[in-house]
C-alpha cells in the first residue's frame, strides 16, 4: 500500500508568466526546503503558455486556471486547495536564496511568531524589503527601501514588525483560513491588510527574518501590464486598516512588548550597558526601578538576585561558573528563577550539569557594536613640505570623503598629514600594522618609506615616481585623486570580502541582536504563563 505524503508546506503562487514559474520551480527544487511541500499555482496567463511551465521531476505541482487576475481572490482560491500545515504566499518573480524557505519555516513554528517575511533585494543589490512600517497618517512604507544595500548591518537582525510584503508571507494555514485576503482591493494592499488583521485577531507577532534572503524582480510583471501605482481607493482602505486598535487600545501598527523590570549594576559598567540596550530596543523596560506591573523581572547577572518578587516571571543571566566566587549562588539562583539565560553553550552545559532542565535555558550571546567592522588601513609616512610635493592635499581630499572613509581608514606615522597618528617605538612596526603604504607624492627621489614597507612585507599604493616602477606596487596616475579613490575602494572591497568568512559569523550578533533575542524570549515566556 502506498503511503500518502503529508505536506508540511503549501507554496501558493499567482502567475501569468511561464518563464517566472519555471524559474521559481527550479529554485524551489534547489532550495533545501527540508520538508514535504506542494506548489499550487493560480494561472492568469494563456492556456498555451501554461504548457511551457517546466516542473522538475517529482515536484508536487498543481495549476488552476483563473481569470481575470485579482491577487486576493486568486490567493484565497489556491489557499482553499492547500493541504499543508503552513502556507507560503510567494511572488513568481522571487528567487529565494538557498535555505531561505527552510529558515522561514523554522521561524514560523515558534510560538511567538505568526507571520514571517524575509530580506528581499533588487538585482543591483539595493534593499527592497526589511519590514513594512507606517507614517503618522497611516500610509505604509518599506524600511530603508532603495537606500541601502541588502546586506547592510542595519537590517541584519531579526525584528518584529507591523507588516511584511505579500511577495513572501509564511504563516499557519489554520490561522489564514480564519482571515483570508481582503478581496475589495483593486491592485495592492491585501498583504498589509492581512498582517494588520492578523495582529488584531491573534497574540502572535509578525517577524522580519534577516537571515532568510531572496532576489526580487519587483513590479516587472505589473509594469508589463501597466499596473504600477497604488489606486486612491486602495490607499484609503490601507489607511483605514492602519487606524484600527489592538485589544489593549494601542494602535494596531504598534509592536506589542511585555513590561520588563531590569536589575543590574550602576551606570558606567558593562552590565548596565546590556540593560540599556534592552530598554532602548523594547521601550517597555525600567532599569533598577520599582515596576509592579512588570511581566518579567530580569537580573542581568545572577549575582543581583536576592529575593523573588511577589509577581511576574523571574529570569536571570548566567555568565561563567566559578566555584570560588558565588559558586553556591550560581546554583541556587538557577534553581529558583523561572528561566535561565546562558551567555554560551558551555555555560548552558554547566547549568544542565547542576540539574537545570535544558528547556529552562536559553543561550543569548552578546555581540559587538556595529561600529566594529573591517576597514582597509592605509598609512602615510614622512614629513610634509611646502608646495604640496608630498601630496598632503591629496590625503586631505581622501579624509574629507565620508563615503570612502566608511571602508578605508588613513593613518600617519607622525603629525602634519591631518590623519590620526599611530605611534610605535620603531617605524617597522607601523609598516607591519597597516594593510598598505600610501605614497601620495608628486615627485620623489626614493621614496625611502616605499623601500622600507616592502622590506616589511607591506605593499604600497604609489604613482610612478622615483624607484617605484622598478618594484611591485599598486599603481595610480600621479596626483589623480579620483583614480586613487577608485583604487582604494576596489582594494577595500577585496579586503572586506577576504574577511567575510569571519564577519559572517557575527551577523546579527550586535546590541540590537542582543535586545531582539531577549524580546523573543520574554514574549514566549509571557505566552507560556
Contact 64, 41 (CB under 8 A): yes
Burial of 311 (0-12, 13-18, 19+ CB in 10 A): exposed
In the predicted model, what is the mean pLDDT of residues 370-380?
Answer: 85
Residue 455 has pLDDT above 90, yes or no: yes
Domain containing 72 — which CATH number? 3.90.550.10
pLDDT value at 423 more than 70: yes
Does residue 169 sit in the same domain as residue 40?
Answer: yes
Q: How confident is the model at residue 2 (pLDDT cuts 50, 70, 90)?
A: very low
Asked whether 43 and 66 are in contact (CB, 8 A), the reply is yes
| DSSP helix/strand/coil, 173 | helix
Mean pLDDT of 229-233: 86
Rounded to an integer, the average pLDDT of 72-99 is 96
CATH number for the domain including 477? 3.40.50.2000
Q: Same structural domain for residues 220 and 337?
A: no
Using one digit for the tens of pLDDT, what is the confidence trace for 192-204? 999 999 999 998 8
Closest CA to 150 of 142, 162, 160: 142
Whether residue 96 sits in one domain with residue 198: yes
In the predicted structure, residue 411 carries a pLDDT above the cut 90: yes
188, 209, 242: which is the final residue of a domain?
242
- The pLDDT-based confidence of 152 (bands split at 50, 70, 90) is confident
Residue 251 is assigned to a structural domain of this protein = no
End-to-end CA distance of the chain: 45
Per-residue pLDDT at 508: 62
Nearest Cα to Cα of residue 24 among 163, 156, 233, 167: 167
pLDDT for 503:
63
Shared-domain flag, residues 210 and 70: yes
The verdict on residue 253 lying in a domain is no
Domain end call among 209, 242, 275: 242
Residue 249 lies in a domain: no
Domain check: are 112 and 193 in the same one? yes
pTM for the whole structure: 0.66
For all residues of the chain together, what is the average pLDDT? 90
What is the reported pLDDT for 154? 79
pLDDT above 80: residue 501:
no
Residue 222 shares a structural domain with residue 279:
no
Same domain, 40 and 168: yes
Residue 3 has pLDDT above 50, yes or no: no
Q: Can you give the pLDDT at residue 381?
A: 94
Q: What is the pLDDT of residue 1?
A: 41
Instruction: Please tell me the predicted confidence (pLDDT) of residue 228.
Output: 56
Are residue 177 and residue 210 in the same domain, yes or no? yes
Q: What is the mean pLDDT of residues 415-438?
A: 94
Residue 251 backbone zone (phi > 0: left; psi -120 to 50: alpha; other: beta): beta
pLDDT for the residue 518: 92
pLDDT at residue 504, as a whole number: 60
Does residue 490 share a domain with residue 456? yes
Of 88, 72, 75, 93, nearest in space to 18 by CA: 93
Task: Look at residue 254 and tell me if it is in a domain.
Answer: no
Q: How many domains does the structure of the chain reveal?
A: 3
| Mean pLDDT on 149-175 | 91
Whether residue 250 is contained in a domain is answered as no
How does residue 225 score in pLDDT terms, banded at 50, 70 and 90? very low
187: in domain:
yes
Q: What is the pLDDT of residues 287-336, one digit of tens each?
A: 999 998 899 999 999 999 999 999 999 999 999 899 988 889 999 999 99
Q: Which of residues 406 and 118 earns the better pLDDT score?
A: 118
Domain housing 266: 260-369+508-528
237 compared with 247, residue with greater pLDDT: 237
Which cell goes with 231? 489606486
Answer yes or no: do 275 and 414 share one domain.
no
Residue 470 has pLDDT above 80, yes or no: yes
Residues 386 and 512 in one domain: no
Whether residues 104 and 59 fall in one domain: yes
Considering the domain boundaries, does residue 255 fall inside one? Answer: no
436 in any annotated domain: yes
Amino acid at each position: 500500500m502506498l503511503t500518502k505524503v503529508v505536506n508540511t508546506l503549501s507554496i501558493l503562487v499567482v502567475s501569468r508568466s511561464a518563464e517566472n514559474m519555471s524559474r521559481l520551480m527550479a529554485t524551489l527544487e534547489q532550495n533545501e526546503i527540508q520538508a514535504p511541500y506542494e506548489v499550487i499555482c493560480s494561472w492568469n496567463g494563456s492556456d498555451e503558455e501554461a504548457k511551457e511551465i517546466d516542473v522538475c521531476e517529482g515536484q508536487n505541482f498543481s495549476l488552476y486556471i483563473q481569470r481575470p487576475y485579482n491577487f486576493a481572490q486568486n490567493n484565497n482560491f489556491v489557499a482553499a486547495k492547500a493541504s499543508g500545515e503552513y502556507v507560503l504566499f510567494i511572488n513568481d518573480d522571487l528567487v529565494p536564496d538557498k535555505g531561505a524557505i527552510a529558515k522561514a519555516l523554522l521561524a514560523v513554528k515558534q510560538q511567538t511568531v505568526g507571520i514571517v517575511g524575509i530580506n528581499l533585494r533588487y538585482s543591483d543589490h539595493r534593499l527592497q524589503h526589511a519590514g513594512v512600517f507606517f507614517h503618522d497618517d497611516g500610509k505604509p512604507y518599506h524600511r530603508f527601501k532603495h537606500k541601502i544595500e541588502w546586506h547592510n548591518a542595519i537590517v541584519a537582525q531579526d525584528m518584529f514588525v507591523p507588516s511584511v510584503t505579500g511577495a513572501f508571507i509564511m504563516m499557519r494555514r489554520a490561522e489564514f483560513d480564519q482571515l483570508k485576503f481582503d478581496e475589495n482591493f483593486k491592485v495592492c494592499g491585501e498583504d498589509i491588510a492581512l498582517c494588520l488583521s492578523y495582529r488584531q485577531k491573534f497574540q502572535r507577532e509578525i517577524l522580519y527574518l534577516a537571515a532568510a534572503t531572496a532576489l526580487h524582480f519587483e513590479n516587472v510583471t505589473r509594469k508589463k501590464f501597466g499596473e504600477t501605482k497604488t489606486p486612491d481607493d486602495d490607499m484609503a482602505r490601507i489607511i483605514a486598516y492602519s487606524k484600527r486598535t489592538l485589544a489593549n487600545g494601542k494602535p494596531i501598527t504598534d509592536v506589542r512588548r511585555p513590561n520588563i523590570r531590569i536589575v543590574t549594576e550602576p551606570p558606567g559598567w558593562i552590565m548596565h550597558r546590556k540593560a540599556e540596550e534592552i530598554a532602548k530596543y523594547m521601550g517597555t523596560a525600567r532599569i533598577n526601578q520599582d515596576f509592579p506591573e512588570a511581566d518579567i523581572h530580569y537580573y542581568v547577572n545572577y549575582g543581583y538576585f536576592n529575593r523573588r518578587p511577589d509577581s511576574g516571571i523571574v529570569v536571570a543571566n548566567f555568565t561563567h561558573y566559578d566555584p570560588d566566587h558565588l559558586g553556591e549562588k550560581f546554583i541556587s539562583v538557577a534553581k529558583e528563577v523561572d528561566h535561565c539565560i546562558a551567555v554560551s553553550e558551555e555555560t548552558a552545559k554547566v547549568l544542565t550539569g547542576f540539574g537545570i532542565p535544558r528547556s529552562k535555558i536559553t543561550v543569548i550571546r552578546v555581540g559587538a557594536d556595529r561600529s566594529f567592522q573591517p576597514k582597509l588601513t592605509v598609512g602615510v609616512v614622512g614629513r610634509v613640505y611646502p608646495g604640496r610635493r608630498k601630496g598632503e592635499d591629496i590625503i586631505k581630499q581622501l579624509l574629507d570623503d565620508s563615503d570612502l572613509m566608511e571602508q578605508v581608514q588613513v593613518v600617519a606615522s607622525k603629525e602634519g598629514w591631518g590623519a590620526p597618528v599611530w605611534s610605535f617605538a620603531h617605524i617597522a612596526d607601523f609598516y607591519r600594522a597597516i594593510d598598505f603604504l600610501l605614497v601620495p607624492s608628486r615627485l620623489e627621489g626614493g621614496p625611502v618609506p616605499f623601500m622600507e614597507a616592502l622590506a616589511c612585507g607591506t605593499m604600497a599604493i604609489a604613482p610612478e615616481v622615483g624607484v617605484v616602477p622598478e618594484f611591485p606596487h599598486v599603481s595610480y596616475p600621479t596626483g589623480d585623486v579620483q583614480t586613487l579613490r577608485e583604487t582604494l575602494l576596489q582594494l577595500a572591497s577585496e579586503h572586506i570580502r577576504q574577511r567575510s568568512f569571519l564577519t559572517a559569523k557575527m551577523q546579527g550578533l550586535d546590541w540590537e541582536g542582543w535586545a531582539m533575542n531577549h524580546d523573543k524570549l520574554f514574549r514566549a515566556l509571557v505566552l507560556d504563563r
